[in-house]
Structure 1
């Protein structure tokens, strides 16, 4: 590193992933703790754990991930986007995308009960049928005929989407830093009453823990009695 050479520092580096090394380097810059007489014998994992234990988590904001998440419900994303600090989102728009062929996410508690699932499925199909009908009827509304093609399309989809359920499948791009993800995992990863939050938390954790194991070393996935998973902070 040019910075180290310019300051004549000899950084005793331990073997670790690049993301975790960036966290360590950021922490060491705060104290200029590089080289002989300034640096402890802690490994990267131990050093990052010490930063986390001390609440010095701002250094975790230097590492970021971008995910494309699909197969989730809009009910899930309504909750997800409440996490603002350290997150950025870009979601599929129902104003610009025709949902006539939409898929729907079935909660496990409904899927496992045949009678309940049958009623749920009937309701979903009725809503989708109504959506398609509204698309046609609103499209033929005389009041909209004087609008531009772009605004007419926006208007008819905005009106028609009002009947679509929270179970409608969506896609969303998420960018988040490690500190924000740690907070998200802590708040959402073990919610017993929200299977989708737990499942997405586990999936994201499996990705980031491979690329930055030291930054997420105090989390673990556990199996639940119903064969689902939860992400627990140790």
Structure 2
């Protein structure tokens, strides 16, 4: 049976904020993208002296931004994440988030001879269903390797074009469950949109798991934590017989009042 892959989410890049000289703003403990968002908001009104005690800290300021819906300032902070152990099913949905910029593993250049698969938890939880899944995944992988061998024999390996010709045809039999790897970059507003849609009961269970992992990573990063502090993780039951999952809830609605 193919190897089993599990999702992993890592932050590999975040906004680095540098306060400009001559601006009379006490940055406090604001760093990274959260600092950039606060600075951008204060720049609109030149409110460097923090006249409102409720918004004098970065946490209070960002929460106010979320409450009033002036979300455009969140676009000044970005995070780049590397996702591995996710399925092609996940990326087919994930790339629908147009404000996240993707760079994904290419099956035309990277052979999938020993591809791992991502098993839906409701299948993995049932031994009989897991056996059916394993057999189907192995059959598809065997078919891929047979096709790739014969296409390679037919077209040769003397050029990159010939190799691509074989791989791009053989990959047609690979299932959505095949593991892929993808880099996603988005501003904080786009990441909040992703979490609001995907870390929810209505989302596919795999993308829900990934969205929760994304949220955990962003909450653990000092430069993004204030922007995602309103979310709380709670357990959720899709069905009495299904494995328990986690979703994200917030006491704030991302109502967008920017025009």
TM-score by structure 2 length? 0.81
Q: Which string of whole-angstrom CA distances, capped at 9 and with x for unpartnered residues, describes residues 23-48 of structure 1?
A: 1111000111112xx73222322221
Partner of 1:26: 40
Number of residue pairs the alignment of both structures matches: 225
* Aligned-partner Cα distance in 1 for 2:93–2:46: 41
Q: Which structure would you say has the larger Rg?
A: 1
Could you tell me which of 164, 167, 178 is aligned with 1:157? 167
* 1:217 matched residue in structure 2: 229
Q: Distance in 2 between matches of 1:193 and 1:204?
A: 15
Q: Residue deviations 1:110-152, cap 9 Å, x none? A: 11111111111111111111101001111233xx46x962111
How far apart in 2 are the matches of 1:218 and 1:33?
24
- Structure 2, gaps ≥5 residues long: 1-17, 238-242, 252-259
3-state secondary structure, aligned to 2:39:
helix
Is 1:104 the equivalent of 2:117? yes
Give the direction of change, closer, same or farther, for the CA distance of 1:100–1:32 in structure 2 (3 Å limit): same
Deviations 1:78-102 (A, max 9, x none): 10001012x1111100000110010
SS in 2 for 1:214: helix
| Cα drift, residue 12 of structure 1 | 4.4
Q: Provide structure 1 residue ranges, at least 5 long, that are not aligned to the other structure.
A: none
Which is further off, 209-218 or 119-128?
209-218
Q: Alignment partner of 1:33: what SS?
A: coil
The more displaced of 213-222 and 177-186 is 213-222
1:131 maps onto 2:144 in alignment: yes
Deviation at 1:204, TM superposition (A): 1.0
Q: Deviations over 1:189-231 (max 9, x none)?
A: 1134511111111111111112222211221111124332112
User: In 2, are the aligned partners of 1:4 and 1:11 still within 8 Å (CA)?
Assistant: no
SS of the aligned residue for 2:207 comes to helix
User: Which TM-score applies when normalising by structure 1?
Assistant: 0.89
Q: 1:98 to 1:13 in 2, by over 3 A?
A: closer
Matches of 1:111 and 1:137 in 2, distance apart? 33
Match of residue 104 from structure 2: 91
Distance 2:94 2:119 in 1: 18
Secondary structure, counterpart of 1:11 in structure 2: coil
SS in 2 for 1:94: coil
CA separation of 1:3 and 1:134: change in aligned 2, threshold 3 A: closer
* Correspondence for 1:172 among 173, 182, 205: 182
